[in-house]
Chains A and B, each alone.
Chain A
């Protein structure tokens, strides 16, 4: 009796979530836009850190973010051109960009160690979010095999970045 009630409650919660996910399933043009936007956001954050930080480890990390995300975005641009796909702006890209703009403004007010810690902590959180979106939605939903492959390489790269950011955050405490 209790078990059935619990399962019923779980289903009641799960079904709307599944329905929502299906309704909002992005197409390849939208997925390419989301992945590209995610890269652009981290490049902008890295450039802000390069301009503001004086910590060598933070600067090395920020340079790595700019270099790697630029490389993967250049690859993404070449791929959409080859496939004849025009990346399509969408609600997810817009909300990512809005949150990132607010974060840039917030971090812009900080300096020195306070900036370094806030930047690196945000990099940990940001890469976790992007990795969750890549493995949970973007990679499974991508239809084109080459786009899926590039997103999988992106996931490996961003997971490395997340670990690197976590290691760096531990040294800044």
Chain B
């Protein structure tokens, strides 16, 4: 008599959790390749929690350095590096070695 309502509650809870996870997509990882002294196309649908994997395909050392100090990824030639975007907002970044290389990430909540 008491087990039936509990089982119903458990099913409802699982259902609710499933719905909640459907509403908010799982964090995604995007790849951005650096080549010929430039950052490749940047993802446009970023959300807080997503990651960017930076791939330096260039023959030169580069960096991805946030102007607000929130990240600084050093990328020797052919190296990879990762940035986790923890909060929403706009982040301007540049290369410390070649400051003319720059970009802006727009992160939604």
Contacts and interface: CB of A to CB of B under 8 A. Distances in A.
A163 interface: yes
Contact of A160 (B59, B61, B77, B98): B98
A11 interface: no
Interface residues of A, number: 15
Interface of B: 36-38, 59-61, 77, 97-101
Contacts of B100: 159-160, 163
A67 interface: yes
Given A67-B61, A71-B59, A153 B99 contact: no
Q: Is the interface of B mostly helix, strand, loop or mixed?
A: loop
A157 B95 CA distance: 12
Contact of B59 (A64, A72, A156, A164): A72
B60 A157 contact: yes
Contacts of B60: 67-68, 71-72, 157
Nearest to B38: A156
A163 B37 contact: no
A164 B98 contact: yes
Given A67-B61, A71-B77, A75-B59, A163 B99 contact: yes
A121 to B, nearest CB: 19
Contacts of B61: 67-68
Interface in A27-65: 64
A167 interface: yes
Contacts of B98: 157, 160, 164
10 contacts: A71-B77, A72-B60, A156-B36, A156-B38, A157-B37, A157-B98, A159-B100, A164-B98, A164-B99, A167-B99
A14 to B, nearest CB: 33
A153 B36 contact: yes
Nearest to B98: A160
Nearest to A160: B98
B65 to A, nearest CB: 13
Nearest to B37: A156
B37 A153 contact: yes
A111 B30 CA distance: 49
Contacts of B37: 153, 156-157, 160
